[in-house]
Amino acid sequence: MNNTSDYELTPERIWSEFDGAPGGTSLESMCGELFSQQLFNWQEFALAHMNMKGAWLREITSGPHTLLVQFNQGRTVSATAALDADTIRRRPCFLCEYHLPAAQKAVLYRKSFLILVNPYPIFSPHYTVVHVNHEPQALEGQIVSLLALAHDLGPAFTVFYNGPRCGASAPDHHHFQVCPSGVLPIEKDWEEGGRATLLADRDGVSLGVLRLLGRNALFMEGSVPETLEAFLKRLLGAMEEVVGSGEEPMLNLFCTKKEGRWRLLIFPRRKHRPDAYYREGKDSVLVTPGAVEMGGLLITIREDDFLKMTPTLAEEIYREVSLPPEVIEEIANHMK
C-alpha cells in the first residue's frame, strides 16, 4: 500500500486518520465514530439510513437453504446503473474525493483509502472503502490492502469486493465495501458444516468448495498474508486459464479475519445480470447480483419483486450468473 494520493485531499474531508501505529485508536472505533458523526451531521445520509432500517425484510427457505430478501428502494440507482464503457467515461465519478458531498467525511486509511459511510446503505453500518486515486476496480494489485483491511477492522466486520463486471457500480474507481459480520446467510451456511469440501491443504492454506443454493463458492483460509496473497493470485490465474476472458475473471469475494486466520469466500461468476432483469411485464425481476446477493441477501428495488421472490426464482438467478460447479472444480484442480 505505497500508492498514496496523486493530489491533495481536501483537509476538511478527513475526520480521522488510521495509520496502524501500535497503541493508537482501533479502526473499528474510528469507523464507529465516523458513522455517528455522519448520522448527526449529514441529513441525506441519516434519512437514507433510517429508510433502510425500516425496509421490509423476509426470509425464504428451501430445505437447508435460507435466503433473505430486502425491499430497498434506496438501491435503485446502484441496481439499475448503466455500466457500459461509454456511460462510465461520460459520467462524473461519484467515488472521486472532489465529487463527494461536502457533508461526507472520511477515515483516511493507511494513506491509500478513504473509508466512507455508504450513502445508500444495505447494512447498518455499511462502509465503502475507496482508493484515494481514480484507478480501475481490480483485485490483483490490491490483495495486500484487502487482507490488511480485514485484519485492521477485526472479526466484527467483513470486507467484500465486487468485480468490475459483476456488481461494482463504479468499475472505474477501485473500492471495497464493509458490512458487519454475521448478517449474511452464507456466514451461517459456512459455520454449519456439511456443505464444505476441503480440496487442498498446502503451505498453511486450505482451499475448498462450499455448496449453496444454485451456486458454489470457493473458500480459502490461512494465517500468513503472503501465502494467501500468492494463493489468491494463483486462483485468479487458474480462473483466467479455465474461463479465458482476457480480463479479470468475474468474481465476488468476502474476506474476514477471525482467531488469527483470514477466511475468504470467492464466488466465480459468468454473468452480471440475469435474463429476467431484461424481461418485460410480470416476468421481469430487477435484481442485479453482486457480493451481497451471492451472500444470500437479495436486494429488490420494487415491491413486486420483493413479494414474488421464491427460493426457486433465486436458485434460477444464481445458476444463471454463477460459474457451473464442474467449471469451479476444474479451476480448483488447476490450483492443486
Binding region for Zn ion (CB under 5 A): 93, 95-96, 134, 173
Q: Locate all alpha helices (DSSP H) within the chain, ordered by sequence.
A: 27-41, 43-53, 76-80, 85-90, 143-153, 185-192, 225-243, 275-278, 291-294, 303-308, 311-321, 325-335
| In the complex, minimum distance from the CB of residue 88 to Zn ion, in angstroms, rounded to a whole number | 10
Measured between alpha carbons, how far is 93 from 98 in angstroms, rounded to an integer?
Answer: 9
| In the complex, minimum distance from the CB of residue 66 to Zn ion, in angstroms, rounded to a whole number | 37
Nearer to Zn ion, 93 or 200 (CB): 93
| In the complex, minimum distance from the CB of residue 96 to Zn ion, in angstroms, rounded to a whole number | 3
Q: Look at residues 266, 175, 184 and name the one whose alpha carbon lies nearest to residue 221.
A: 266
| In the complex, minimum distance from the CB of residue 193 to Zn ion, in angstroms, rounded to a whole number | 42
| In the complex, minimum distance from the CB of residue 43 to Zn ion, in angstroms, rounded to a whole number | 24
Cα 85 versus chain centre, distance: 21
Judge whether 112 and 4 are in contact, CB under 8 Å: yes
Cα 41 versus chain centre, distance: 27
| In the complex, minimum distance from the CB of residue 192 to Zn ion, in angstroms, rounded to a whole number | 40
Measured between alpha carbons, how far is 123 from 17 in angstroms, rounded to an integer?
Answer: 23
Q: Cell numbers at residue 253, please?
A: 469475494
Nearer to Zn ion, 134 or 273 (CB): 134
- Write b or e for each residue in 165-193: b if 16 or more Cβ atoms lie within 10 A of its Cβ, otherwise e: bbbbbbbbbbbbbbbebebbbbbebbeee
Nearer to Zn ion, 14 or 93 (CB): 93
Q: What are phi and psi of 228, to 5 degrees?
A: -65, -40
Measured between alpha carbons, how far is 191 from 252 in angstroms, rounded to an integer?
Answer: 19
| In the complex, minimum distance from the CB of residue 176 to Zn ion, in angstroms, rounded to a whole number | 14
Give the 3-state secondary structure of residue 105: coil
Nearer to Zn ion, 65 or 173 (CB): 173
Nearer to Zn ion, 134 or 269 (CB): 134
Nearer to Zn ion, 134 or 215 (CB): 134
Nearer to Zn ion, 95 or 317 (CB): 95
Residue nearest to Zn ion (CB): 93
Nearer to Zn ion, 135 or 229 (CB): 135
Q: What is the CA radius of gyration of the chain?
A: 19
Judge whether 261 and 223 are in contact, CB under 8 Å: yes
| In the complex, minimum distance from the CB of residue 137 to Zn ion, in angstroms, rounded to a whole number | 10
- Rounded to whole angstroms, what are the CA distances from 186 to 155, 182, 190, 217, 276? 16, 9, 6, 10, 24
